[in-house]
Amino acid sequence: MKVVLLGTAAGGGCPQWNCACSYCTSDSPPRTQDSVAFSADGRVWHLLNASPDIRAQILATPALRAGPGPRETPLRTVLLTDAELDHTLGLLMLREAGALTVHAPAAALHALTEHFPARTIISEYHAWNWHPVTETTLDGLVITSLPISDKQPKYARTSTHPGPWVVAYRIHDPTTGGTLVYAPCLRTWPPGFDAFTDGASLVLLDGTFHSGSEFTAAVDGANPAAQQAMGHVPITATLPMITNRPGATRWAYTHLNNTNPVVDPTGPEHVAVAGAGAELPVDGAEFTL
């Protein structure tokens, strides 16, 4: 299985267009908003989330570009972890796709119909297939999911649709034995997550914030509860849980917010995370599992 990290930043990217903080004005590697592409054979590809930056991400990744026919594309499927705008706005950028299948939590599909009508808009262009998350296979890869949160996006906060609203994905290649776990939106370390990640080759873990108070410190006047409401457990809470674990699992943080000091590869926080054995890959990083 081939895996490409198309984007590794949280919503807004880094640098963020409306921010002049020290990280957004530094020489740190730029990061686009989080999305991942994976493939069983390097020819047919599937997406994990569709960020607002998806067009630029596709064009920056030769394997995802259109061809060989004038309207052929190697993209077949999008797996959404949730209905947040930074994970779904890219669907509108993909509206020209004649055939695409979208899997998402049922609550997310409801939000994309009733609150942010992406499904309605796209249906005016093409008839895509939309499915609630279930165990499935894509080109021989076995896809399973784990409900991890009932955090609703702001635009759908009045929805009474039952959760889960957020899932993590486990993608297993029976041919190679390689396994990817994708969990960019962890409110906590949820029940069952240890078993879900057990034996994985690579776990892409929520790295939105480094500490529990950085957003309040970085944004003048921010409510101290604002960061907690965003639903992302900080690296300082999860790093001790993955350090020195038995097995050969590679742990990597993604979905980094522009306020997160680990975006600076020369900073002490970045060095400490790497020193503990976790990775902080940049956009375009490739893995073969």
Please indicate, yes or no, whether the overall pTM of this predicted structure exceeds 0.85.
yes
- What number does CATH give the domain 2-288? 3.60.15.10
d(CA 45, CA 4): 10
- Please report which confidence band the pLDDT of residue 214 belongs to, taking 50, 70 and 90 as the band edges: confident
pLDDT score of 213 more than 80: no
Beta strands in the chain (DSSP E): 2-7, 35-39, 45-48, 75-79, 101-104, 129-132, 136-138, 141-149, 166-172, 179-183, 202-206, 250-254, 286-288
CA-CA-CA-CA dihedral for 178, 184, 188, 189, to nearest 10: 10
Helices (runs of H) and strands (runs of E) counted in the chain: 10, 13
179 touches 201 (CB < 8 A): yes
* Cis omega (within 30 of 0) for bond into 52: no
The count of other CB atoms within 10 Å of the CB of residue 261 is: 21
β-sheet with 286-288: strand ranges across: 129-132, 101-104, 75-79, 45-48, 35-39, 2-7, 286-288
Phi and psi for 172 in degrees, rounded to 5?
-115, 135
DSSP state of 156: G
Task: Tell me whether strands 250-254 and 202-206 are parallel, antiparallel or unpaired.
Answer: parallel
pLDDT at site 246: 79
- The arithmetic mean of pLDDT across residues 102-108, rounded, is 97
Phi and psi for 252 in degrees, rounded to 5?
-135, 140
d(CA 42, CA 30): 26
Residue ranges covered by each domain of the chain: 2-288
- Please report which confidence band the pLDDT of residue 224 belongs to, taking 50, 70 and 90 as the band edges: low
As given in the structure block, the two tokens for residue 269 are 């926080």
- The arithmetic mean of pLDDT across residues 118-138, rounded, is 94
As given in the structure block, the two tokens for residue 179 are 């396994």
With a pLDDT cut of 70, the percent of the chain lying above it is: 94
Cα–Cα distances in Å, from 51 out to 13, 94, 108, 273?
10, 10, 15, 26
